Amino acid sequence: MRPIALKRRANRTVVYALLALVALWLVGPFLWLFVTSVSYQRNLLARPLAFIPPEITFDNYRRILGLVRFHAELQAAKILPSMLNSVIVAIAVTIVNLIVGTTAGYAYARFRVPLKMLSLFALLFTRMLPTIVLIPAYFLLFKALGLQNTLTGLVLAYCSFTLPFTIWIMKAYFETIPADLDKSALVDGCNRLQAYYRVVLPVSGPGLVAGGAFTFMLCWNEFIVAQVLNTKLGTTTLPPVIAGMNAQINIDYSVIAASGFLSALPAVLLVLAFQKYMVQGLTAGSVKG
């Protein structure tokens, strides 16, 4: 075999090895979370630790479903209702973002308005602020409006820091769609709003998927706002409930891992299902010419 071919094979082997290490680094925590969720507590605390569990059990998931009684069953009983709250809040915020964010993104992409760039960067600045900085303002405002300990309050809070992200994504995507498409619709008798909904929006699938998926995941994984604003039983989302299991006297790591695995599963499935469109939507507008 010629030296050039050997060099190419060696380079390819190194690249594949690095890719395998990166994939293991990224997937490893999720795999270990699943292994922990199907392990007994005694095996997790045993030394030396066995990375392949000697015994596999699904009792931890049964405890979450209330089929098996244990010391922290009252806290575990909150997991499914809080997961439903997370679904409701995440879907509601995603719908609001797709309606308001895409319309605003289209306006920024197509119209020349005064202070356009200033307002865009002002939106970006609000997204750059740490969430913890906004917590006191959220708490006082929602308490005065009677929205504390309500899912509506969480939806409004989440929309305030996810809308800028959606607007920027959709603006960048709409700029990749030729403006001649709008002009053709206007010539055919559509007004500007009809051209947007009937012509431009149907060809904006990747941008909509990218904005919607990232909005959903941001809301699904959010912890601190839900922890502070919704402290009443039955009104909070999944992350604070899982964190509350660490406050038990006898911490059951296997049940916590099972709860965490169930919490991570929707986001993982969402990314796997729409990863192609997410990449297209996020990279839209990155190359000009």
Question: From CA 101, how far away is CA 233, in angstroms rounded?
Answer: 32
pLDDT tens for residues 157-176? 999 888 988 898 888 888 88
Outline where the chain has alpha helix (H).
3-37, 41-45, 59-64, 73-76, 79-96, 102-110, 116-128, 131-145, 151-174, 179-187, 192-195, 205-221, 224-229, 238-244, 253-283
The superfamily (CATH) of domain 81-283 is MetI-like (1.10.3720.10)
Which pLDDT score is estimated for 135? 87
The full set of domain ranges for the chain reads 3-64, 81-283
Nearby residues of 100 by Cβ (< 8 Å), 6 or more positions away: 159, 163, 166
Task: Please compute the mean of the pLDDT values over residues 250-271 and round it to a whole number.
Answer: 83
Nearby residues of 131 by Cβ (< 8 Å), 6 or more positions away: 161, 222, 224, 225
Classify the phi-psi angles of 115: left when phi > 0, otherwise alpha if psi is within -120 to 50, otherwise beta. Answer: left
How high does pLDDT run on average in the chain? Answer: 84
Determine if the pTM surpasses 0.75. Answer: yes
Which pLDDT score is estimated for 247? 63
Question: From CA 196, how far away is CA 180, in angstroms rounded?
Answer: 12
pLDDT tens for residues 20-47? 899 888 888 888 889 888 888 888 887 8
Task: Please compute the mean of the pLDDT values over residues 79-97 and round it to a whole number.
Answer: 92
Positive or negative, the CA dihedral 59, 61, 67, 68 is positive
